[in-house]
């Protein structure tokens, strides 16, 4: 720990990785050379080890903790237990044991299944804790749950209130990041889902490895983000060496379709039939990279599984590294991603618009600009400094070699700028409002605009495959909207500089969805930031949706009644009315606010 304090890089111990990092640090010897940065491979190794010695157990409620702890302690030593609920309100405990052997002792004690003949048991790290009428006595438990309700996302209305109360836009950006970043249990669960596939598929595929990539591990993920998974095998030089004379017989794929399509088809069928928690399996086999989408109901995460796409993992490593170099990178990218979603520039579904990945490259590229001292180096610099140990080659001979140990990066090549987050966000919008999208491409390899090789509206060079454009799907209209929205955002932030805190002050005006922004404004009374309760506007037993014109008159009525209430403490009368919204989005928003009993 002291190593980090001395170097001032304590921010590396931020929530998502804090526990595993600190474990790693405590394992280091005093004589070790001080290091500022921990590598992505070390973090991943730690997370995978954690998953190998963990189980997820469904329980009745968080008060099952003592019984579960007592029961498991009969077989093994427990490191800690984390509690969470899925969106169906079911309770789970993620238990980390002190070693993998320890966990195997517990698994050997696992009874199989109900006696129904149509259920075939399967080994996986997801279990359930059976209730019993025979009460056992367990040793006195002095430990507590490490986390309760760990996967609960922050309530949006609470978040907005907190953002409203911040004293600067920089504080808002940092708070938005801290409140929404994917937390420790979110990361643990994602590695458990990967571990489950390794366990279930291991007898079908030798040396199988299932790795999370994308926003779950690249440091830019938020609570509830999707889980991208890649299925590979871990063929090391040792395994392929001529010295190993006994070699597994192999099964060659026969038939017309590509082997990967057939494997993914099988994997899809196995997910449906053999993987507890996996539901809504969808096979997309004709894509360039065939994928299987599914939802994991027990871990409460949506997954995209593909085969042999290791470049995705190296890309995540690259993004993770650039995010680790400077403490402002991830909060800034978080604010930009959130703004883009609110402005409908990005969308969860694929189409003619931007997605989070190229948008994140836009942020990294901006931070490489030398204008007021670069925050990040160009990728070219990391490639120049790479040693033999950094050599990585992905599928189709893709060279993914770049410096892995950031401690070797000269300090003058990053963080050469002292702008606060507010200034950086404003400059980001300003930079792209002046960017020559018609002629220039965005390349984090070079860290400066390069000539566009074709006339596609938006060109963002794929850092690991520079001949490809990661935003080739973006239409001319969407690119124009991007230019318009960055100008609007710059204008909005500039108008906040006078220090006056209006209702959409700072990033609130950027991250609130436009549809709800108007409605929320309408519901705000006078200059107070308190919103009118929807309960005050509608009766609980209103069955029909309220009408658009009606809401204004109701609001007027409310204002009058509120004055009366203040003056004479007369209780309001609740009159039933029938109202209808013309716009279903507004209606949904009204009902959402109403349901949450906001305000
Ligand atoms: N990726 C890539 N090349 C692309 C698109 C994606 O290498 N053209 C890799 C990146 O590593 C990316 C990951 O695939 O992070 C997953 O892509 P996606 O799910 O679209 O982006 P995320 O970064 O995971 O963001 P989100 O939170 O929106 O899922
Ligand atoms: Mg993703």
- For the chain, what are the domain ranges? 1-38, 324-484, 513-528+577-599, 533-573
Q: What class does CATH assign to 324-484? A: mainly alpha
* Closest ligand 1 atom to 346 CA: 28
CA of 214 to the centre of ligand 1 (A): 5
Ligand nearest to the CA of 287: 1
Letter string b/e over residues 222-261, b meaning 16 or more CB atoms within 10 A of that residue's CB: beebbbbbbbbeeeeeeeeeeeeeeeeeeeeeeeeeeebb
Residue range 220-226: mean pLDDT, rounded: 97
DSSP per-residue string spanning 481-529 = HHHHHHHHHHHHHHHGGG----TTTTTHHHHS-HHHHHHHHHHB-TT-S
Whole-number pLDDT of residue 518: 56
Q: Give the DSSP H or E segment for 94.
A: strand 91-97
Query: What is the DSSP code (8-state) at residue 48?
Result: H
Burial (CB < 10 A; 0-12, 13-18, 19+), residue 173, is: buried
Whole-number pLDDT of residue 237: 63
* H-only helix segments in 58-98: 65-73
Residue range 560-573: mean pLDDT, rounded: 40
Burial (CB < 10 A; 0-12, 13-18, 19+), residue 47, is: buried
Closest by CA to 221, choosing from 17, 59, 71, is 17
pLDDT-based confidence at 34, cuts 50/70/90? low
End-to-end CA distance of the chain: 43
Whole-number pLDDT of residue 534: 36
Cα distance between residue 430 and residue 321, in whole Å: 26
Whole-number pLDDT of residue 410: 95
Among 13-17, 18-22, 119-123, 314-318, top mean pLDDT goes to: 314-318
Whole-number pLDDT of residue 349: 84
Residue range 36-50: mean pLDDT, rounded: 96
**Nearest Cα residue to atom 7 of ligand 1:** 312
Please list the residues that pair with 83 across neighbouring strands. 93
User: Per residue in 54-84, pLDDT tens?
Assistant: 999 999 999 999 999 999 999 999 999 999 9
**Nearest Cα residue to atom 28 of ligand 1:** 356
More confident residue, 321 or 599: 321
Whole-number pLDDT of residue 516: 59
Q: 269 is written with which tokens?
A: 């069928």
CA of 336 to the centre of ligand 2 (A): 16
Query: What is the DSSP code (8-state) at residue 388?
Result: G
Cα distance between residue 396 and residue 68, in whole Å: 48
User: Per residue in 340-376, pLDDT tens?
Assistant: 999 999 987 889 999 999 999 999 999 999 887 899 9
Residues with CB under 6 A from ligand 1: 213-215, 218, 221, 225-226, 228, 311-312, 315-316, 355-357, 470
User: Quick one: what percent of the chain has pLDDT higher than 70?
Assistant: 77
Cα 330 to chain centroid distance, Å, stands at 12
**CB under 8 Å to 280, separation ≥6 — which residues?**
293, 294, 295
The residue length of the chain stands at 599
Residue range 329-338: mean pLDDT, rounded: 98
Specify the range with the lowest mean pLDDT, choosing from 142-156, 218-232, 312-326, 419-433. 142-156
Burial (CB < 10 A; 0-12, 13-18, 19+), residue 440, is: middle
Vertex 261 angle, CA 209 and 302, to 5°: 60
With beta carbons less than 8 A apart as the criterion, state whether 233 and 205 touch: yes
User: Per residue in 490-516, pLDDT tens?
Assistant: 999 998 877 677 778 999 999 987 555
Cα distance between residue 500 and residue 486, in whole Å: 22
pLDDT-based confidence at 183, cuts 50/70/90? very high
Whole-number pLDDT of residue 10: 37
Specify the range with the lowest mean pLDDT, choosing from 70-84, 185-199, 432-446, 536-550. 536-550
More confident residue, 574 or 97: 97
Tokens 């005093």 belong to residue:
30
Q: pLDDT at residue 17 above 90? A: no
Ligand nearest to the CA of 348: 1
**Nearest Cα residue to atom 21 of ligand 1:** 357
User: Quick one: what percent of the chain has pLDDT higher than 90?
Assistant: 62
Please list the residues that pair with 96 across neighbouring strands. 54, 80
Specify the range with the lowest mean pLDDT, choosing from 412-426, 463-477, 578-592. 578-592
Whole-number pLDDT of residue 160: 94
**CB under 8 Å to 434, separation ≥6 — which residues?**
none
Whole-number pLDDT of residue 315: 98
Whole-number pLDDT of residue 509: 94
Q: To test the ligand 1 pocket, which listed residue (224, 228, 293, 333) has its Cβ within 8 A of the most ligand atoms?
A: 228
**Nearest Cα residue to atom 8 of ligand 1:** 470
With beta carbons less than 8 A apart as the criterion, state whether 458 and 437 touch: yes
Q: pLDDT at residue 231 above 70? A: yes
Cα distance between residue 106 and residue 120, in whole Å: 20
Residue range 184-204: mean pLDDT, rounded: 96
Whole-number pLDDT of residue 500: 72
CA of 65 to the centre of ligand 1 (A): 37
Whole-number pLDDT of residue 127: 95
Burial (CB < 10 A; 0-12, 13-18, 19+), residue 455, is: exposed
**CB under 8 Å to 487, separation ≥6 — which residues?**
429, 433
* Closest ligand 1 atom to 222 CA: 27
Q: To test the ligand 1 pocket, which listed residue (301, 357, 358, 471) has its Cβ within 8 A of the most ligand atoms?
A: 357
Cα distance between residue 527 and residue 111, in whole Å: 63
DSSP per-residue string spanning 256-272 = SS-HHHHHHHHHHHHHH
Q: Give the DSSP H or E segment for 450.
A: strand 450-451
Residue range 442-469: mean pLDDT, rounded: 97
Cα distance between residue 428 and residue 340, in whole Å: 13
Q: pLDDT at residue 576 above 70? A: no
Query: What is the DSSP code (8-state) at residue 376?
Result: S
Residue-averaged pLDDT of the chain = 82
Cα distance between residue 520 and residue 43, in whole Å: 42
- The three-state secondary structure class of 106 is helix
* Closest ligand 1 atom to 348 CA: 28
Tokens 């990661």 belong to residue:
470
- Indicate the pTM of the whole model: 0.82
Q: Give the DSSP H or E segment for 55.
A: strand 54-59
């Amino acid at each position: 720990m002291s190593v980090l304090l001395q170097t001032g890089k304590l921010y590396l111990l931020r929530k998502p990785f804090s526990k595993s990092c600190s474990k790693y640090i405590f394992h280091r010897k005093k004589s070790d050379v001080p290091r500022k940065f921990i590598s992505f491979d070390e973090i991943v190794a730690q997370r995978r080890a954690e998953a190998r010695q963990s189980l997820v157990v469904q329980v009745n409620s968080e008060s099952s903790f003592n019984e579960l702890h007592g029961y498991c302690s009969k077989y093994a030593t427990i490191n800690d237990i984390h509690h969470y609920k899925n969106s169906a309100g079911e309770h789970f405990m993620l238990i980390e044991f002190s070693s993998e052997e320890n966990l195997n002792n517990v698994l050997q004690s696992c009874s199989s299944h109900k006696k129904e003949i149509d259920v075939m048991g399967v080994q996986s790290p997801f279990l359930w804790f059976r209730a019993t009428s025979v009460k056992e006595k367990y040793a006195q438990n002095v430990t507590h749950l490490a986390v309760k309700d760990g996967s609960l996302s922050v309530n949006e209305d609470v978040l907005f209130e907190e953002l409203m109360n911040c004293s600067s836009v920089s504080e808002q950006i940092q708070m938005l990041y801290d409140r929404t970043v994917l937390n420790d249990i979110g990361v643990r669960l994602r590695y458990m889902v990967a571990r489950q596939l390794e366990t279930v598929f291991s007898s079908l595929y030798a040396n199988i490895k299932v790795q999370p990539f994308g926003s779950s591990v690249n440091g830019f993920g938020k609570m509830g983000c999707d889980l991208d998974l890649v299925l590979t095998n871990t063929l090391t030089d040792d395994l392929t060496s001529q010295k190993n004379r006994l070699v597994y017989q192999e099964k060659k794929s026969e038939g017309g379709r590509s082997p990967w399509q057939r494997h993914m088809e099988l994997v899809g069928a196995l997910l449906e039939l053999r993987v507890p928690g996996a539901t809504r399996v969808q096979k997309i086999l004709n894509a360039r990279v065939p994928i299987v989408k599914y939802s994991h109901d027990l871990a409460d995460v949506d997954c995209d599984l593909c085969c042999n796409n290791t470049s995705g993992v190296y890309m995540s490593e690259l993004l993770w590294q650039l995010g680790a170099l400077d403490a402002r990178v991830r909060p800034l990218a978080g604010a930009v991603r959130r703004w883009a979603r609110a402005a409908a520039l990005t969308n969860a579904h694929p189409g003619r618009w931007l997605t989070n990945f190229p948008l994140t490259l836009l942020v990294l590229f901006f931070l490489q600009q030398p204008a007021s001292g670069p925050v990040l180096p160009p990728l070219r610099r990391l490639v120049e400094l790479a040693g033999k140990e950094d050599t990585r080659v992905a599928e189709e001979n893709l060279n993914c070699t770049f410096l892995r140990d950031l401690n070797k990066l000269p300090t003058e090549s990053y963080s050469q700028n002292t702008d606060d987050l507010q200034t950086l966000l404003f400059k980001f919008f300003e930079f792209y409002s002046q960017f020559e999208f018609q002629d220039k491409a965005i390349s984090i390899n070079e860290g400066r605009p390069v000539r566009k090789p074709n006339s596609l509206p938006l060109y963002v060079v794929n850092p690991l495959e520079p001949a490809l454009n990661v935003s080739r799907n973006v239409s001319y209209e969407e690119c124009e909207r991007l230019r318009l929205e960055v100008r609007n955002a710059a204008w909005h932030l500039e108008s906040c500089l006078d220090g006056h805190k209006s209702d959409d002050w700072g990033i609130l005006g950027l991250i609130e969805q436009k549809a709800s922004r108007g409605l929320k404004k309408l519901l705000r009374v006078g200059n107070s930031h308190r919103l009118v309760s929807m309960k005050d506007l509608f009766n609980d037993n209103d069955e029909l949706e309220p009408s658009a014109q009606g809401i204004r008159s109701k609001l007027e009525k409310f204002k009058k009644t509120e004055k009366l209430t203040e003056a004479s403490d007369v209780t309001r009368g609740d009159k039933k009315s029938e109202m209808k919204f013309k716009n279903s989005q507004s209606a949904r928003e009204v009902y959402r606010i109403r349901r949450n009993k906001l305000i």
